[in-house]
């Protein structure tokens, strides 16, 4: 039976991990490659790098990070952030990334999903959706630019369009839950996951091992992603997996 | 030397690095002479079946891969590279494969998530030198089509995704893995290592 996946996410700026990382057994807590290798060893099922570099040089550095990561780790990893063209995708995939995450650029030009999927295969294309509940609509709205800009687009319709255009997976972040540590967004995740035929990674709101178990069972998510609680060792990947096993969830 | 066959499809860097990490020399190459001289060859691949076969044909590598397989030296197809070993695929129309193993590649069909993406359990169903001192466990799959070998004896390992799914095939010195051994943690590396060991032993 297919296992549920636990995915740590690293924010990388100009080749360095940003947001505090609280690991004692690291030579250099700012090195994404070293951290990736550690998460691999701890039992992470996949990794996500989010490149938040604003400059061209910063993005070039990311290609090098990807190349070194591919040499060090033996689990799949996704790279997202600032990817605007199939040329950008190609550079990162050739350097050793397994999947490419696209968000704002996909909203601005949905053909990017179609093109990427056709050239590299659906399994390479992860469409990231940042969603927030819109009280007026009584439905979730898609935000772009790192959650700063409302788009007027309904998240559910966008998720289905992304699938139709050839996305292989969705990375769904709830802006309402993100940072609360109160748990993942159950209604959002469930609605989206039940409305598409591709896997959904839930993100935003993880505060405890129990939250992972909830979203992967009741929330119908195929995978769950978190950043800070893993970086600060509030919960370890091992603890999350133990909790999941205890709940009868199939994990690696 | 292990040839990682470059025909313009997919992530070759990870495969060649994994080979090197296991202590073997790897060359990412599209040079027929270099491929034919290699002790072992890996046919990787992600993307669409039809495109991959077109690339193999256009680069003249289809003949090279067949010749390599006929030489009896170990050849491993990974993911799409495994599917290419079969007779034909129904991915976006009908496409002839390399026909080194009789069988078809068909789409997953049903009310479940496609692609089959993530870590799934292997079950060994045949005998193989690949399995020597290896305990089955989880490996990383990502695919929307799966292979149905005509001959039961070619099937070495399966996984379960709504149905038994072909995970490892093999006959003589020809092998295929539907999952990505280079992305499947320790177990994946172990299976890759067992394959690489055959390049010194020569079976078949």
**Residue B115 above 70 pLDDT?**
yes
Find chain A residues with C-beta within 8 A of B143's C-beta.
123
Per-residue pLDDT averaged across A152-177, rounded? 97
Q: Tell me whether residue A11 is one of the annotated catalytic residues.
A: yes
Residue B12 inside a domain? The answer is yes
- CA distances in angstroms from A250 to A212, A247, B101, listed in the order given: 13, 9, 33
Out of A88, A130, A178, A185, pick the active-site residue.
A130
* CB pair distance less than 8 Å for B120 and A1: yes
Mean pLDDT, chain A, integer: 94
pLDDT average, residue stretch A18-31? 70
Residue of higher predicted confidence among B201 and B122? B122
pLDDT for the residue numbered B204: 44
Query: Do residue B118 and residue A197 have CB atoms under 8 angstroms apart?
Result: no
Contact A81, A48 (CB under 8 A): no
Q: What is the DSSP string of chain A?
A: -PPPEEEEEEEEETTEE-S----TT-S-TT-HHHHHHHHHHHT-S-EEEEE---SHHHHHHHHHHHHHHHHH--S-EEEESS--SHHHHHHHHHHT-SEEEESHHHHH-THHHHHHHHHH-GGGEEEEEEEEEETTTTEEEEEETTTTEEEEEEHHHHHHHHHHTT-SEEEEEETTTTTT-S---HHHHHHHHHH-SS-EEEES---SHHHHHHHHHTT--SEEEESHHHHTTSS-HHHHHHHHHHTT----
Q: Is the residue at B204 inside a domain?
A: no
The whole-model pTM stands at: 0.94
Mean pLDDT in residue range B1-27: 91
Q: Nearest residue of A to residue B114 by CA position? A: A198
> By the CB < 8 Å criterion, does B182 face chain A?
yes
pLDDT tens per residue, range A7-22: 999 999 999 998 766 6
pLDDT at B74 over 90: yes
| Mean pLDDT, residues B101-106 taken together | 98
For residue B172, the SS3 value is: coil
Residue B38 within a domain:
yes
> Across residues A172-181, what is the average pLDDT?
95
The predicted-structure confidence for A43-96, as pLDDT tens digits, reads as follows: 999 999 999 988 888 888 999 999 999 999 999 999 999 999 999 999 999 899
What total number of domains does chain B contain? 1
Assigned domain for B202 exists: no
Chain segment A97-132, per-residue pLDDT in tens? 999 999 999 999 999 999 999 888 899 999 999 999
Distance CA B33, CA B36 (A): 5
Q: Do A252 and B138 touch (CB under 8 A)?
A: yes
Question: Scanning every residue of chain A, which has its alpha carbon at the shortest distance from the alpha carbon of B6?
Answer: A94
Instruction: Confirm if B61 and B67 have CB atoms less than 8 A apart.
Output: no
A-chain residues within 8 Å CB-CB of B48? 121
Let me know if A178 is a catalytic residue. Answer: no
pLDDT mean over A228-241: 92
Whether A168 has a pLDDT exceeding 90, the answer reads: yes
Any domain includes B43: yes
B163 within domain boundaries: yes
The range of the structural domain enclosing residue B90 comes to 2-197
Mean pLDDT of chain B: 94
| C-alpha A249: how far from chain center | 21
User: For residue range A148-158, what is the model confidence (pLDDT) as tens digits?
Assistant: 899 999 999 99
In a domain, B31, yes or no: yes
Q: What is the CATH number of the domain that holds B96?
A: 3.40.50.880
């Amino acid at each position: 039976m297919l296992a549920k996946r636990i995915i740590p996410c690293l924010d990388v700026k100009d080749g360095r991990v940003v947001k505090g990382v609280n690991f004692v057994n690291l030579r250099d807590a700012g090195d994404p490659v070293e951290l990736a290798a550690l998460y691999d060893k701890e039992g992470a099922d996949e990794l996500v790098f989010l490149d938040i570099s604003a400059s061209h040089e910063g993005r070039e550095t990311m290609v090098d990070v990807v190349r070194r990561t591919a040499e060090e780790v033996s689990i799949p990893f996704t790279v997202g952030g600032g990817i605007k063209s199939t040329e950008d995708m190609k550079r990162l995939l050739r350097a050793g990334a397994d999947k490419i995450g696209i968000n704002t650029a996909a909203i601005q030009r949905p053909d990017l999903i179609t093109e990427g999927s056709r050239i590299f295969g659906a399994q390479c294309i992860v469409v990231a959706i940042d969603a927030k509940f819109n009280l007026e609509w009584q439905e979730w709205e898609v935000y772009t630019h790192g959650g700063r800009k409302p788009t007027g687009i309904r998240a559910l319709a966008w998720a289905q369009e992304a699938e139709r255009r050839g996305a292989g997976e969705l990375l769904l972040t709830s802006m309402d839950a993100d940072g609360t540590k109160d748990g993942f967004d159950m209604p959002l995740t469930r609605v989206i996951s039940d409305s598409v035929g591709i896997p959904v990674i839930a993100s935003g709101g993880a505060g405890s091992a129990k939250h992972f178990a909830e979203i992967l069972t009741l929330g119908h998510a195929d995978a769950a992603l978190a950043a800070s609680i893993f970086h600060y060792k509030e919960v370890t990947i091992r603890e999350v997996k133990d909790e999941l096993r205890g709940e009868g969830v199939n994990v690696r | 030397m292990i040839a990682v066959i470059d025909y313009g499809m997919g992530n070759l860097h990870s495969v060649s690095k994994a080979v090197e990490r296991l202590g073997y020399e790897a060359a990412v190459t599209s040079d027929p002479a270099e491929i034919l001289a290699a002790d072992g060859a890996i046919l990787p691949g992600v993307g669409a079946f039809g495109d991959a076969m077109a690339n193999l044909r256009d680069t003249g590598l289809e003949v090279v891969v067949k010749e390599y397989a006929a030489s009896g030296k170990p050849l491993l197809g990974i993911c799409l590279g495994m599917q290419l070993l079969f007779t034909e695929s129904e991915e976006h129309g009908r496409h002839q494969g390399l026909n080194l193993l009789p069988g078809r590649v068909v789409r997953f069909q049903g009310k479940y998530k496609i692609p089959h993406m993530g870590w799934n359990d292997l079950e060994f169903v045949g005998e193989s030198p690949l399995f020597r001192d290896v305990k089955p466990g989880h490996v990383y799959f990502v695919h929307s089509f799966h292979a149905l070998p005509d001959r039961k004896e070619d099937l070495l390992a399966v996984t379960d995704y709504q149905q038994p799914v072909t995970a490892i095939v093999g006959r003589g010195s020809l092998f295929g893995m539907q999952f990505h051994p280079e992305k499947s943690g320790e177990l994946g590396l172990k299976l890759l290592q067992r394959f690489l060991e055959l390049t010194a032993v020569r079976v078949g």
